[in-house]
Structure 1
Amino acid sequence: MSSYIQTNINWPSFLSRHDMLWKARPMSWDEGVFIGNGLLGAMIYSEEHKAKRHVLRFVLGRTDVTATRKGGVKDFPVRVPIGELTLEMEGWIYQPCEIRLDLWNAEMRAVVPTTKGEIRIRAFVHALSPVLAVEFDTDDGESRAQVKWHAYPEVDPILKNADGINLNQHIPVTTVQRTTEEQGITFGVQSYDHGEGCTTAWKVHDLGQTDEHKSDSEDKKWNRRLCLLTVMNGVTVEDKETVRNELEGISVSGPAWTSWISNHRQWWHDYYPASFISIPDMQLESFYWIQMYKLASATRKNLLPIDNQGPWMTSTPWPGLWFNMNVQMTYSPVYTANRLELGQSLISSLQQHQEQLIHNVPESFRSDSAGLGRSSSYDLNSPIEDEVGNLTWLMHNCWRQYRYSMDEDMLRDLVYPLLRRSICLYMHLLEEGEDGRLHLPAMVSPEYGSFKQLTTPDTHYDLSLLRWGCQTLLYASERLGIQDPLQDRWNDILTRLTPLPVDHTGYQIGSELSLEFGHRHFSHLLAAFPLHIVGNSDEDREVITRSLRHWIGMEGDLRGFSFTGAASIAATLGLGDEALAYLRSLMHLIKPNTMYKEAGPVIETPLAGAEAIQDMLLQSWGDLIRVFPAVPEEWQEGVFHNLRTEGGFLVSAVREAGRTVLIRIHSQAGEPCRIITDLTSTDQGFTVEVGGKTSGSGYHLQEDGSIDIMLKPGEEAILYTAGSKPIIAPIPTHPVTFNTFGGRKPWRLYGIPK
């Protein structure tokens, strides 16, 4: 066996089997085509009303466009809708359409027949520029088709209300100014109160006739036009110049135009191969890869963190960042997926707003503490109220960013000091009880009995976060060589903190509150997932299993994210079949385009579903790398490449006929490596090759079946069964299982036999 593994991934072909397809035009946000570049986005769909059957909508969103609301429960700048670009045709859109979201190239392509003719469309938001490009070719019957921009107040009520109205949503009073210059650029300025607003600019280029779609048997003439549109947060003269320069800097012909498109595509072509998975379930495999596309469409390392919507704004009561679960789950798949650059947008936000996090706590605590309330705008201005642990949970995401990268500067400069402040806030609240134990006062467990405003002492949520935080600070201070004066206090807390409350149902909400009715959140299971501070003993596993099944069995208030949490918890227990059942339940709640919506869109649920799939294939917690730890019985095959683990390892593995046959571990940081795999129990025997040598040195087989492997930075180990010659390649499957998502296709779940 060589010291490297062979890959055979034809990325364009592989991702094409997961492209989203529509045979009928998408009719709502729930099944729209979404494109974006981490800042600017568009959701593309149509409308059934007879007055609008000729319209294809590009509903625009830009992440940083907000408006301050006053007099509400939360007075912070909230996301607001900004309007849309419409492609208005001569005839009604007819069937069948051919619409494809090409994941590999991150663009929509469509053939749209109408009652008058035909239009062929290509649309994308450029990967490196905040510009939407809509290229459309029309035949003679649709020669007068045109694009129009509508500021949000000017959107026809038929379209504006098509996805429902949320009376809790703030829509600012808006003044619209529209001007057109001689160069053909049109500007639309929407001004809100408080000097806020946005500036949109667009230009339509007539590119003349093309014979690209002409066949030998037809005499059709096609005319090509191109609309370029950009949006800027702000309404100043300087903002207008910025959008003007953005459009004037794009040449729409010759090599410059080809290069501009090539740069967009190359960004995506470089992005996808950072890691690879393939599983024998095409619905879930497609779902996973669409989430990888969605992540990079929703954020970039130097942009704002992902809020509840991403760039695809629509009717919602949650137009901002929510921190008692949403942001944490949104970022959960970036770590194992080896896409840490996307996680950097969260890190950067916390770095920029540390002073605000300090001001979120009462003034008497600001000398050593910081915190984060339930929700905020991008400035993280959210004073602590009845939820204390949200910042600590967010720091767990930052801890994962550190542990998967082993970036010591990040640990020293951000993670350690900010986690320390979040734990100091808890320390101010601790009280010693008559039992000599340390207790927390009555608090909220997120999402349990919210409308009743239920509180309880010693919530599982807060006890588990406090315990995890103290353990992590002790580890980090030793790692950094810091003699912190609080170390004795952290050790004392770990010794005397009251245990997590448990009853006959499993983990309780808190010491005075059991789980007695439906609970959509896994806040009472946080110690098991994602914190992983319990789960190593048989006793722990029994309590976790009992808690999981009691929780899900209550049914009452379950939501999509309930099933993502349940799937990851089941995977933690090694229950692959159960994890798969939860994910299949999730698929019934996911929208046709893989978005998720309750009273409004919440982006975290499908993204957390991607993490649950990762957890079935690879886990790393408790200083142990687990390969294929929770694979369902029906998944006899599986493959992944360059998934990332704690300790800065890149791991690849192949499963054939129900057994692991190959593992490759590449060390980037030279950290201790302990792995557990079914290779150690194979009858065929296995070989371990470390640093290109199979001499038997460089690793040690432990009594519990785990393997310690000694790797220097840049070295790798290969573990493989005798006679195996596996290749990292997509799992073969019948094309009838491809392209599950896109238009509404419930028969893919229940109806048409495959």
Structure 2
Amino acid sequence: MSTCYRYSYCCLFLIWFVTGVFAQKKKDTFLPPYKGIFTRPAKLIPTAFTPDAPIAGNGDLGIVVGGTPAKQCIYIAKNDFWKAKTGYPEGGLCLPGGLNISIPELDGATYYAEQVIANGNINVTCKKGDLTYKLNLFVPAGSNKVILEMSVTGKPCAVTLGIWSQTGFDSRNESGERDGISYTMRHFDSPELDWPSHVALAVHPIGSTGNYFTLKPSTKVIVVVGASTNHEQSDYLGAAIASVKHASPSVVAGLRKSNDQWWRTFWNQSHVELGDTLLEKYYYGAQYLLASCSRNSNFPPGLCGNSITADAVSAWQGDYHANYNYQAPWWASFSSNHVELTDGYDNPVLAYMQKAQVHAKELMHCRGVYYPVGIGPKGFASSMYPLTEEKMMKNYGIKDLNLEGGLMFCGQRSNAAFLTVNMFQRFYHTYDREYAMKVYPFIREVADFWEDYLKYENGQYNDYNDNFWEVGPWTDNWRLDMQSGDTNNTNTLGLLKMFYKGILEMSAFLQVDQDKRAKWEHIQQHLYPVPLAVSNGMTRVKAAERGTSSGSEGRTKPGFGRVSAYAWVFPSDITGVRSTPEFAEILRKEIGRWDSLPGGDATWNNLGNGFETYFTTAIRVGYDPEAVITKLKERIAKTALPNFWVQQSGGLTETLSAVPSCINEMLLQSYEGMIRVFPAWPGENARFHHLRTYGAFLVSSEKQAGTVRQVTINSEKGRPCSVENPWNTALSVTEDGKPLIATVNGNVYTFPTKAGSTYQLTAKLTATQARGLHASK
């Protein structure tokens, strides 16, 4: 065989091997093998914060399994059950109720439970002597029911069911029976509410004539709980009763089958293999928790999701906090190709637009929109100060009912700009025209506000009286901070850099507002630069050019922390090792000081806020990935619960993006104008399937023995594609198996794509390299 022939043969073998094997793997059905393991009943319930119990949900209805073996309690929460009373803290997300299961024979029994993320099931086993009790629970996809299947071995036991609704917080409650079905209701419908909320829960044990029965070893009892609110059905009680009355074993089997299929589809939208079970466990665990609470597009999850076991009043009412908390849960959904989980994000924002226009006009004397720190669904103002002097004194020690117009803006102007972050992320990852048209009116309103609010002086746009941190009656020197505030705070400056880049691209994509583009470009190019300070020979980031009182000395001292990270690195996409190498180096050095000279609230082990950005930010600016993984594992170990929730005190659902976003950025990056495969993965082996990038591409690749084996790109919208060459040799590109010529600029290859086509990138190996690979196989 000639050398030329052998070389050609080896190259063909390489292409066949890496594409064929990977294609075969893609056809396999992927399900994550991880389970949350519980060896004792939960202790951190009831609570408005994160429970330490098994969790399941269908994206609207959520359950938390609590209680003891003898007195089990299934807490039932729902995304759309809110008390819409203004005047903090008198409204917010509330708990509908739950189901009690009393089995006296299990008093003192052992407890074991599994939270199975592959299909959203919870399995409980309790043992006492010869008696073994098993309970399986799930919340079917697309059906607001809770399915419970009970069985025993060894000997029979008596079971009593009790459906209940949460009382208190000025709710009205009812319980009764209709057509042999027990039900309970909770109502918030007093005249002072913005809108009423009603919820009904109904329970039906299939095959039993009542809620008391004997569970025998030879039988299995299926219990169905139905839930409905007035936001779904005007006859919410009738809907809840009907949903359980007509349930049968065959109906339940169908619900189980469709639920299993939903989770199979979800998990096969993308997956990663890291060779690290701890990272994989929390990667998939976080995505499970988000999928369990984020499928109601009219009532997306707020701070608490749908796993509350008490009214959320103590957890900032469980609202939509606009200065990062509301946005953060979805920051990994785009790159993980779970875009559908973000469908509900925009709706509360858009529903509040009319009120925000009034706020901008009356309080700021500007066009556009001005958002308070917290909002709720359906235009609800969740962050309104108390409405009476007595309540203001009780909560804040002042009587001023007109503070900030009666709403908590916390001295910040940037909330609306921050709310656009997720909108631009979805736009860049999908280039969905219908979606862009939906959110563009809001984005245009944000532009109008800042065009009026910024002051153009001496060749630059300045941002005055806009605080870096939240300020209010709960902070020191808050009156001075609100009166004069910070000037050119780093958070707003970064968000505006992100914002004007986004509106310029989106308006061009939609071919609208051509007459505004010159102004927007001028603002983008002439914003005040990021404030820096040199201290002891170190260049450090300042939180603001200048500030007042605590705003300049205590709370905005030099140092790069989470708030600046949101605005300048992740999720804003402003800084990177390719696009801004000098600034990335400054931030990389700042991160290196987090253990010794953090400044502000920046530290790897901040247990209050920041988990959602610290580690991803470190990867994006080029910090040592081995060190990041070590720090990430240490942080997980500090507050991880057995249900895969990694807690922090500043919020609940916001942490669900932390591990997936960090891992995704180590495996694949695209925000700097090119696709970078394995840009920061330190391990020898890893693979990923269908991670999503800017440009609406789905990318798959594999790394073996430190070498990238192939890159497969599926183009959804037919946009040009640029890829950083992952090999130290030239690469070849094929389009649906046919050679394609790429334009080469340094180590970046650019080629046109067609919507629906598949592109394979492989290394052009030397004859020696090809022979070596062939021999290794």
- Give the TM interval when normalised to the shorter protein: 0.7 to 0.9
Query: How far 1:660 sits from its partner (Å)?
Result: 1.3
- d(CA) in 1 for partners of 2:123, 2:27: 21
Corresponding position: 1:506 with 2:540 = yes
After superposition, the C-alpha distances for 1:585-611 in whole angstroms (9 at most, x for unaligned) are: 330222222224445851111323221
Please say if residues 335 and 401 of structure 1, whose CA atoms lie closer than 8 Å, have aligned partners that are also in contact: yes
Query: How far 1:45 sits from its partner (Å)?
Result: 2.5
Please say if residues 460 and 525 of structure 1, whose CA atoms lie closer than 8 Å, have aligned partners that are also in contact: no
Query: How far 1:201 sits from its partner (Å)?
Result: 1.2
Please say if residues 328 and 397 of structure 1, whose CA atoms lie closer than 8 Å, have aligned partners that are also in contact: yes
- d(CA) in 2 for partners of 1:671, 1:237: 46
After superposition, the C-alpha distances for 1:600-653 in whole angstroms (9 at most, x for unaligned) are: 851111323221111111111122111111113xx2111001111111101001
Q: Which residue of structure 1 lines up, in the alignment, with residue 549 of structure 2?
A: none
Matches within 5 A, 1:570-589: 570-575=618-623, 576-587=625-636, 588-589=638-639
Matches within 5 A, 1:616-635: 616-632=666-682, 635=683
Q: Which residue of structure 2 lines up, in the alignment, with residue 314 of structure 1?
A: 309
Corresponding position: 1:224 with 2:247 = no
Corresponding position: 1:417 with 2:441 = yes
- d(CA) in 2 for partners of 1:90, 1:192: 35
- d(CA) in 1 for partners of 2:261, 2:567: 40
SS at match of 2:32: helix
SS at match of 1:674: strand
Corresponding position: 1:15 with 2:38 = no
- d(CA) in 2 for partners of 1:129, 1:724: 54
- d(CA) in 2 for partners of 1:222, 1:138: 8
Query: How far 1:521 sits from its partner (Å)?
Result: 3.3
SS at match of 2:114: strand
Please say if residues 138 and 145 of structure 1, whose CA atoms lie closer than 8 Å, have aligned partners that are also in contact: no
Q: 1:67 to 1:147 in 2, by over 3 A?
A: same
Please say if residues 91 and 142 of structure 1, whose CA atoms lie closer than 8 Å, have aligned partners that are also in contact: no
Unaligned runs of 5+ in 1: 48-52, 154-170, 209-213, 215-219, 726-754
Task: Pick from 592, 596, 603 the counterpart of residue 653 of structure 2.
Answer: 603
Please say if residues 285 and 645 of structure 2, whose CA atoms lie closer than 8 Å, have aligned partners that are also in contact: no
Query: How far 1:711 sits from its partner (Å)?
Result: 1.7
Task: Pick from 402, 410, 417 the counterpart of residue 392 of structure 1.
Answer: 417
- d(CA) in 1 for partners of 2:652, 2:292: 15
- Amino acid in the other structure paired with 1:339: H
- Amino acid in the other structure paired with 1:64: D
SS at match of 1:345: coil
Query: How far 1:333 sits from its partner (Å)?
Result: 1.2
SS at match of 1:670: coil
After superposition, the C-alpha distances for 1:83-114 in whole angstroms (9 at most, x for unaligned) are: 22122212345565442222222211222113
- d(CA) in 2 for partners of 1:344, 1:45: 31
Corresponding position: 1:656 with 2:704 = yes
Task: Pick from 547, 572, 581 the counterpart of residue 590 of structure 2.
Answer: 547
Matches within 5 A, 1:474-553: 474-504=504-534, 505-512=539-546, 513=552, 515-516=556-557, 521-523=562-564, 526-535=567-576, 536-550=579-593, 553=596
After superposition, the C-alpha distances for 1:349-381 in whole angstroms (9 at most, x for unaligned) are: 444544344344334879840232211211344
Q: Which residue of structure 1 lines up, in the alignment, with residue 396 of structure 2?
A: none
Q: Which residue of structure 2 lines up, in the alignment, with residue 56 of structure 1?
A: 72
Q: Which residue of structure 1 lines up, in the alignment, with residue 180 of structure 2?
A: 184
Query: How far 1:187 sits from its partner (Å)?
Result: 1.4
- d(CA) in 1 for partners of 2:171, 2:321: 26
- d(CA) in 1 for partners of 2:239, 2:681: 51
The alignment covers a number of residue pairs equal to 677
Corresponding position: 1:439 with 2:462 = yes
Query: How far 1:234 sits from its partner (Å)?
Result: 4.1
Task: Pick from 238, 247, 253 the counterpart of residue 258 of structure 1.
Answer: 253
SS at match of 2:499: helix
Q: 1:307 to 1:607 in 2, by over 3 A?
A: same
Q: 1:532 to 1:598 in 2, by over 3 A?
A: closer
Q: Which residue of structure 1 lines up, in the alignment, with residue 736 of structure 2?
A: 691
- d(CA) in 2 for partners of 1:301, 1:564: 23
- d(CA) in 2 for partners of 1:649, 1:418: 26
Q: Which residue of structure 2 lines up, in the alignment, with residue 113 of structure 1?
A: 127
- d(CA) in 2 for partners of 1:193, 1:518: 49
Q: 1:494 to 1:600 in 2, by over 3 A?
A: closer
Please say if residues 336 and 692 of structure 2, whose CA atoms lie closer than 8 Å, have aligned partners that are also in contact: yes
Q: 1:554 to 1:690 in 2, by over 3 A?
A: same
Q: Which residue of structure 1 lines up, in the alignment, with residue 610 of structure 2?
A: 562
SS at match of 1:373: coil
SS at match of 1:333: coil
- Amino acid in the other structure paired with 2:328: M
Q: Which residue of structure 2 lines up, in the alignment, with residue 342 of structure 1?
A: 341
- d(CA) in 2 for partners of 1:347, 1:619: 25
Please say if residues 460 and 524 of structure 1, whose CA atoms lie closer than 8 Å, have aligned partners that are also in contact: no
- d(CA) in 1 for partners of 2:379, 2:524: 30
Query: How far 1:495 sits from its partner (Å)?
Result: 3.2
SS at match of 1:91: helix
- d(CA) in 1 for partners of 2:558, 2:159: 55
TM-score, normalised via structure 2 length: 0.81
Please say if residues 31 and 118 of structure 2, whose CA atoms lie closer than 8 Å, have aligned partners that are also in contact: no
Unaligned runs of 5+ in 2: 1-14, 46-50, 191-195, 210-214, 382-406, 547-551, 772-777
After superposition, the C-alpha distances for 1:436-485 in whole angstroms (9 at most, x for unaligned) are: 42211122224599723454110111111222222222222222222433
Please say if residues 567 and 578 of structure 1, whose CA atoms lie closer than 8 Å, have aligned partners that are also in contact: no
Query: How far 1:391 sits from its partner (Å)?
Result: 1.9
Q: 1:98 to 1:551 in 2, by over 3 A?
A: closer
Query: How far 1:124 sits from its partner (Å)?
Result: 0.6
Corresponding position: 1:702 with 2:745 = yes
- d(CA) in 2 for partners of 1:94, 1:689: 65
Query: How far 1:338 sits from its partner (Å)?
Result: 0.8
Please say if residues 691 and 698 of structure 2, whose CA atoms lie closer than 8 Å, have aligned partners that are also in contact: yes
- d(CA) in 2 for partners of 1:540, 1:416: 31
Matches within 5 A, 1:291-370: 291-300=286-295, 302-314=297-309, 316-318=314-316, 319-363=318-362, 368-370=367-369
SS at match of 1:660: strand
- d(CA) in 2 for partners of 1:659, 1:355: 54
- d(CA) in 2 for partners of 1:368, 1:527: 26
Corresponding position: 1:288 with 2:286 = no
Q: Which residue of structure 2 lines up, in the alignment, with residue 736 of structure 1?
A: none
- d(CA) in 1 for partners of 2:27, 2:44: 33
- d(CA) in 1 for partners of 2:120, 2:575: 41
Q: Which residue of structure 2 lines up, in the alignment, with residue 751 of structure 1?
A: none
Identity in percent? 19
Task: Pick from 716, 721, 743 the counterpart of residue 668 of structure 1.
Answer: 716
- Amino acid in the other structure paired with 2:686: G
Please say if residues 563 and 585 of structure 1, whose CA atoms lie closer than 8 Å, have aligned partners that are also in contact: no
- d(CA) in 2 for partners of 1:715, 1:107: 37
Please say if residues 642 and 652 of structure 1, whose CA atoms lie closer than 8 Å, have aligned partners that are also in contact: yes
Q: 1:189 to 1:476 in 2, by over 3 A?
A: closer
SS at match of 2:412: coil
Q: 1:526 to 1:425 in 2, by over 3 A?
A: same
TM-score, normalised via structure 1 length: 0.83
Matches within 5 A, 1:186-265: 186-194=182-190, 195-206=196-207, 221-234=217-230, 238-250=235-247, 252-253=248-249, 255-265=250-260
SS at match of 1:189: strand
Q: 1:116 to 1:190 in 2, by over 3 A?
A: farther
After superposition, the C-alpha distances for 1:318-352 in whole angstroms (9 at most, x for unaligned) are: 22111111121111111011111111111344445
Greater CA deviation, 492-501 or 450-459?
450-459
Q: Which residue of structure 1 lines up, in the alignment, with residue 492 of structure 2?
A: 462
- d(CA) in 1 for partners of 2:158, 2:29: 35
